[in-house]
Structure 1
């Protein structure tokens, strides 16, 4: 099989401390419809079902990703969604108490096909950087939103 026909696989991990208890962080993360209010790179959300949503995301590069989320679990300490659309795989948050709020561990494993998968051959470092910028927006927005009085 030609290498360019094989989808690109990405694995990402981030660990942050968020200034709120795990329950508050969970409530913000499962409230997908309100992501655009605090996560700048999430441009639009459409609810598809009680367990599903379509997100349109754009980080620094001028490229929109359409990602279909399907909730797998919303119970602490682990939140997980299956991913479809432009990415196939999963995203998982593990939330545990920390001295100043919550320790959040984000894990994502995806396979990217199509043109984006093809672009990965030459642009993998740029696409990884672009993902990092998106997650920086998430961390900053989540921290700010979690610190707001309830």
Structure 2
């Protein structure tokens, strides 16, 4: 088992139309306004930027994010990551129930040296840290969608 490899899936039921959810998620530079753990997003050009995240544990992760797919008709936003995290992440937005189901999938390898050294004992904490971040992100997006 590669202790530095992670796969995550989060499902966010949201009481808003899919087009509104997609529009909010495609504006990554706005994430720090509604997602507390996304500390900074700096756009380099139309398809590339740098993101810094920090959740409950006392470390930050910074990665270059490169857009690989933007398909509003299919409700898909996908990026590759390189830096402290290498891999990919994808939002899939679809009608679900009375609103929208936003699914977040991520497949990454941790490259930050300290976290690699702590891979075995820290893995449960790293996974919990991710869950806390995703929960806060959903709450922030809900507030953002209600304000629009």
With the length of structure 1 as denominator, give the TM-score of the two structures: 0.90
Q: Does 1:54 align with 2:50?
A: yes
Shift of 1:7: 6.5
Counterpart in the other structure of 2:94: 96
Q: CA RMSD in A?
A: 1.5
Structure 1, unaligned stretches of length 5 or more?
Answer: none
Would the aligned equivalents of 1:86 and 1:112 in 2 still touch at CA under 8 Å?
A: yes
Would the aligned equivalents of 1:95 and 1:105 in 2 still touch at CA under 8 Å?
A: yes
Q: Does 1:86 align with 2:77?
A: no
Aligned mates of 2:76, 2:40 — CA distance in 1: 25
* Greater shift in the superposed pair: 23-32 or 6-15: 6-15
Deviations 1:18-39 (A, max 9, x none): 1211111111111111111100
Counterpart in the other structure of 1:125: 124
Give the secondary-structure state (helix, strand or coil) at the position aligned to 2:64. strand
Structure 2, unaligned stretches of length 5 or more?
Answer: none
Counterpart in the other structure of 1:73: 69
Counterpart in the other structure of 2:133: 134
Shift of 1:64: 0.8
The equivalent position to 1:112 in structure 2, one of 110, 113, 138, is 110
With the length of structure 2 as denominator, give the TM-score of the two structures: 0.91
Aligned mates of 2:63, 2:14 — CA distance in 1: 25
Aligned mates of 2:15, 2:147 — CA distance in 1: 10
Give the secondary-structure state (helix, strand or coil) at the position aligned to 2:32. helix
Give the secondary-structure state (helix, strand or coil) at the position aligned to 2:46. coil
